[in-house]
Amino acid sequence: MSKHILFKFITSLLLFLFISQLFAGADFINSREYDAVTGQNKKQQEFLKFSKTYGIDNPNIKIQNDAFLNDIVNFFQSKMHPAEKKMLLYNDLKEKYGLQKTAASPYVKTEEISEFWFFGDYSKEKTNFSYDGMGNNILINYEVWDDPNWISNARTTFSINEDGNMLEILDESWKDSQWVNFSKTVFTYNTDNRILEQQFYNWNGSWVKGNAVFFTYDVNGNLIEELNKSWDGSKFNNYFRVTSAFNDMNLLTSVIFAFADGNFFNDAWKDSYTYDETGFLTEHLFEFMEGNTWVNSMKEIQVPDENGNMVEFLSQYWENSNWINDYRADLTYNEFNNQTGATGYNWNGSDWYHTVIIEFVYDEFQNNTLYELKRDFGQGLSPMNRIERTFVSIATNIDEKDLKPAQFELKQNYPNPFNPSTTIEFSLSNQSAVSLKVFDLTGREVAELINGSMTQGVHTIQFNAGLLVSGVYFYRLETEGFVKTKKLTLLK
């Protein structure tokens, strides 16, 4: 099979994941669904079905285990998420919308019910979320509908330390009326609370070591290399490598994916990113390596409104030395810059025809409580996916306590993970100049919550991340003689 066909398959799959993210805000990997009979990961089955359909027989890209699937899909999904522009323009918008101090209470998602329609078939799934006393999400339960009952399907348990670092993720499937281990992921961190290693294990009566990912950062904290190694039973072997480059604004400019050949790496495909003067991502170019030359494959063009929201999205593919239209979407937002709708179109060679419509509904606190997707297969719009979400408040009554702490302290935010608001509490042993900022994984500042003098005592502030994409962020408190950084996780 030619590299071009292989690359078109990979990019087609990734575009599918991108559109899923664009519309549903759903996490492809975190939607851990398992076959009730075999206990296999359904997402892996879907990926293998794609592989079989496209005749992929290259041993370099075989799905060796669930860890590989997690790695490759998670990586590209994170790189392709269109909402990155919300982070880039957050500082410009936070004052306009008063995001330093929002009156909204911190809310957490406790239940999600998803319905699916596909060519006459109907299915329904339920996900429940549990939290510890600090608001950390520690358990997710997955159930499937078997009329008239909900049937346990899978669950995921999270272990989090006091710094908010994810230490372990344990996946289990429901089989023979009991929970059975399926896979787990273990994380290690450096002193800056950045992930150094991600180790995967599969269950086969006992834990069997699988792939591992090793991370390298530059002096600015940008992630510049992700090295995936496979485990052969006695040692690690290079598997594939992802290298990233950034400009002087710490914006991602290129990503190169290379497969390993012993200690050497062969470049396979590349992503390049172009921004406008405000830092908005305007173009995303996909290329594959042919011989020693990068060859065009696909590109995505994004158009912002005056608030930095992406309102137009266009996907094109390269054929016969020309860019050919493929897919486009128009997006709408409310006054809080949360997406309210999307309309998708496909190109038939001469004109655009309507294929998809998406609607989002929010409550008064801007929690996304309803998501609906309708698809036109040539006979008018019909429902394809509907998701209802339930949120509860775990807000406390503290705004500013009359306590006199003996030392400076920064506490873990609650809830964590959160959507879209969370509370950050800190203590000052005396009046001091205070700076409280939020940064993304690249070290780029995305929010300034406090910058000024504050009195002695215990203080709380609510951070609204309505303009940010799901992911891991860091918040840093700086005072006179005290600096502390902790991690927080946004899940939309």
Q: Identify the weakest region by mean pLDDT among 118-127, 309-318, 386-395.
A: 386-395
Tokens of 447: 């929010």
Using a cut of 0.85, tell me whether the model's pTM lies above it.
Answer: no
Structural domain including 142 reads: 3-393
pLDDT over 70, % of the chain: 75
Q: State which of 393, 427, 454 marks the end of a domain.
A: 393
Q: Output the pLDDT for position 6.
A: 44
- In this predicted structure, the answer to whether residue 93 has a pLDDT above a threshold of 70 is no
pLDDT at 373 exceeding the cut of 60: yes
Between 138-147, 148-157, 165-174, 418-427, the lowest mean confidence (pLDDT) is in: 418-427
Same domain, 385 and 405: no
Number of domains, the chain: 2
Whether 389 and 404 share a structural domain: no
Which range is most confident: 42-56, 83-97, 316-330, 437-451?
316-330
Same domain assignment for residues 331 and 443: no
Do both 353 and 429 map to the same domain? no
Q: Which residues pair with 266 in a beta bridge?
A: 259
Answer yes or no: do 430 and 380 share one domain. Answer: no
Give the domain-ending residue among 351, 374, 393: 393
Same domain, 334 and 464: no
Q: Are residues 437 and 319 in the same domain?
A: no
pLDDT of residue 394: 60
pLDDT in tens, 295-321: 999 999 999 888 778 899 999 999 999
Same domain, 468 and 361: no
**Same domain flag for 231 and 206:** yes
Tens of pLDDT, residue by residue over 202-244, are 999 999 999 999 999 888 888 899 999 999 999 999 999 999 9
Q: For residue range 177-206, what is the model confidence (pLDDT) as tens digits?
A: 999 999 999 999 888 778 899 999 999 999
Position 406 scores a pLDDT of: 54
- Residue of 162 and 446 predicted with greater confidence: 446
CATH of the domain at 405: 2.60.40.1930
pLDDT of res. 39: 35
- Give the confidence band of 481 by pLDDT, cuts at 50, 70, 90: confident
Whether residue 366 is found in the same domain as residue 406: no
Which pLDDT score is estimated for 214? Answer: 95
Of the ranges 47-51, 169-173, 251-255, 449-453, which is most confident?
A: 169-173
Out of 376, 393, 410, pick the residue that ends a domain. 393
* CA distance linking residue 489 with residue 471, whole number of Å: 6
Query: Same domain for 330 and 416?
Result: no
Q: Please check whether residues 231 and 363 belong to one and the same domain.
A: yes
Q: What is the pLDDT of residue 239?
A: 93
Local confidence band at 275 (pLDDT 50, 70, 90 cut-offs): confident
Half-sphere exposure of 86 (CA within 13 A, CB side): 19
Tens digits of residue pLDDT in 45-82: 433 333 333 333 333 333 333 343 344 334 333 333 33
